[in-house]
């Protein structure tokens, strides 16, 4: 069937059980990832202004080729790769039908990266974990590596052993699991890039629906890679009083008991990426490049605006959970954030959950600010 997306018309497989969600079984197309693709196009537009030398783009898992088609429409020199011959045929047809140039190859993308790389921009959008493709991508990308991970349960610690195996880290299933998943993913990717003496730094990232997406800009050199590794660390989290504390460094040093409540139910997660998950100025530039012909333009602008304003703290607090602990009815989120700022603390909403607040205030300090004499 034909669909319109981003001002283009592409042919995609007819919906069938599981296929629309990308669960395998032939060429698939996931309509719920339109927001992801719209943000990708806006990022490619903004990145070209950031570095005009970026020209080549690899759609590493082409499927219908819709990402490659949209990148080609932006003027990128596109290569689409897939191991499924039906996907190759469909991607070729979609490029031709839209009058766009681009190469479509029937290749294992890992072999392609080593044989035909490097590419300026490598886009990894697999079903599940991107880790099997990470080494070739970072070894053979010049400027930007764009990565989607849909295996959120291992990333956020809900499937702990799977997360440890795949990402070489200990993720924990906490109240702030979207943040945990994103920072576990970025940590694994930063460590992968460092093996090739490259620093990978996220310039835009978001967690939407059931996936995490990050765009990592590369800088070559051992010193730059060491600096990036220096932004990894661990987070201790008390399951009883919700205290949490990040610690930078390559070695975990977990506390024996919570310093706030004295409880022994303290979880340690890491290594996690503790640095910024986005460059605020670049996120604003990406937002400006969202256009009205995008089907998810409204959501994309709201998302990117929040990402640009979001604090860099590696955890968030759930406002409803806090008020439940305090035994009080919750006030509106905007008022909650405004009160914290008025008291001199940094505070922002998080882009992935309506009740998530990021702040430099501790829980007792938040309680004092929002409840006042009642505390």
317-374 classified as CATH 3.90.1280.10: no
Neighbour-count burial of 206, counting CB atoms closer than 10 A to its CB (0-12 exposed, 13-18 middle, 19+ buried): buried
Rounded distance between C-alpha atoms, residue 167 and residue 204, angstroms:
20
Rounded distance between C-alpha atoms, residue 140 and residue 160, angstroms:
31
pLDDT in tens, the chain (375 residues): 898 999 999 998 875 544 333 344 566 678 789 999 999 999 999 999 999 999 999 999 999 999 999 999 999 999 999 999 999 999 999 999 999 999 999 999 999 999 999 999 999 999 999 999 999 999 999 999 999 999 999 999 999 999 999 999 999 999 999 999 999 999 999 999 999 999 999 999 999 978 999 999 999 999 999 999 999 999 999 999 999 999 999 999 999 999 999 999 999 999 999 999 999 999 999 999 999 999 999 999 999 999 999 999 999 999 999 999 999 999 999 999 999 999 999 999 999 999 999 999 999 999 999 998 554
Question: What phi-psi label fits residue 212: left (phi over 0), alpha (psi between -120 and 50 degrees) or beta?
Answer: beta
Number of H helices, E strands in the chain: 14, 15
Query: 2-231+272-309 and 317-374: same fold?
Result: no
Quick check: pTM over 0.75?
A: yes
Assess contact for 31 and 20: CB atoms under 8 A. Answer: yes
The helix (H) or strand (E) run that includes residue 331 is none
Rounded distance between C-alpha atoms, residue 1 and residue 73, angstroms:
21
Neighbour-count burial of 287, counting CB atoms closer than 10 A to its CB (0-12 exposed, 13-18 middle, 19+ buried): buried
**CATH code linked to domain 2-231+272-309:** 3.40.50.150
User: How far is residue 145 from each of residues 2, 122, 151, 257, 339, measured CA to CA in Å?
Assistant: 29, 5, 18, 40, 39
Tokens of 102: 């681009």
Strands 77-82 and 56-59: parallel
In the chain, where the domains are located: 2-231+272-309, 317-374
């Amino acid at each position: 069937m034909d669909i319109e997306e981003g001002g283009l018309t592409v042919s995609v497989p007819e919906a069938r059980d599981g296929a629309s969600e990308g669960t395998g079984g032939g060429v698939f197309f996931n309509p719920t990832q339109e927001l992801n693709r719209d943000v990708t196009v806006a990022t490619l537009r903004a990145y070209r202004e950031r570095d005009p030398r970026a020209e080549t783009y690899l759609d590493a898992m082409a499927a219908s080729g819709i990402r490659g088609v949209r990148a080609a429409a932006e003027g990128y020199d596109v290569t689409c790769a897939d191991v499924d011959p039906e996907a190759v045929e469909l991607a070729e047809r979609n490029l031709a039908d839209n009058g766009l140039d681009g190469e479509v190859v029937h290749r294992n993308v890992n072999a392609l990266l080593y044989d035909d790389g490097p590419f300026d921009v490598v886009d990894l959008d697999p079903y599940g974990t991107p880790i099997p493709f990470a080494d070739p991508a970072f070894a053979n990308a010049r400027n930007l590596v764009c990565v989607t991970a849909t295996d959120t349960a291992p990333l956020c610690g809900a499937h702990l052993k799977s997360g440890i195996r795949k990402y070489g880290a200990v993720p924990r299933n906490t109240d702030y699991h979207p943040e945990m998943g994103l920072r576990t993913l970025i940590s694994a990717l930063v460590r992968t890039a460092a093996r090739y003496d490259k620093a990978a730094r996220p310039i835009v990232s978001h967690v939407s629906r059931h996936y995490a997406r990050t765009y990592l800009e590369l800088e070559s050199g051992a010193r730059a890679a060491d600096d990036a590794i220096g932004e990894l660390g661990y987070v201790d989290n008390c399951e009883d009083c919700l205290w949490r504390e990040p610690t930078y460094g390559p070695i975990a040093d977990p506390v024996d008991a919570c310093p706030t409540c004295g409880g022994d139910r303290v979880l340690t997660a890491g290594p996690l990426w503790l640095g910024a998950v986005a460059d605020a100025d670049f996120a604003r530039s990406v937002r400006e490049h969202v256009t009205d012909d995008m089907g998810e333009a409204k959501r994309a602008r709201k998302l990117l605006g929040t990402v640009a304003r979001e604090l860099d703290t590696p955890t968030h607090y759930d406002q409803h959970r806090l008020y439940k602990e305090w035994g009080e009815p919750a006030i509106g989120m905007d008022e909650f954030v405004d009160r914290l700022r008025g008291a001199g603390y940094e505070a922002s909403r998080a882009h992935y959950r309506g009740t998530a607040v990021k702040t430099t205030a501790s829980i007792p300090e938040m309680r004092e600010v929002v409840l006042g004499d009642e505390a």
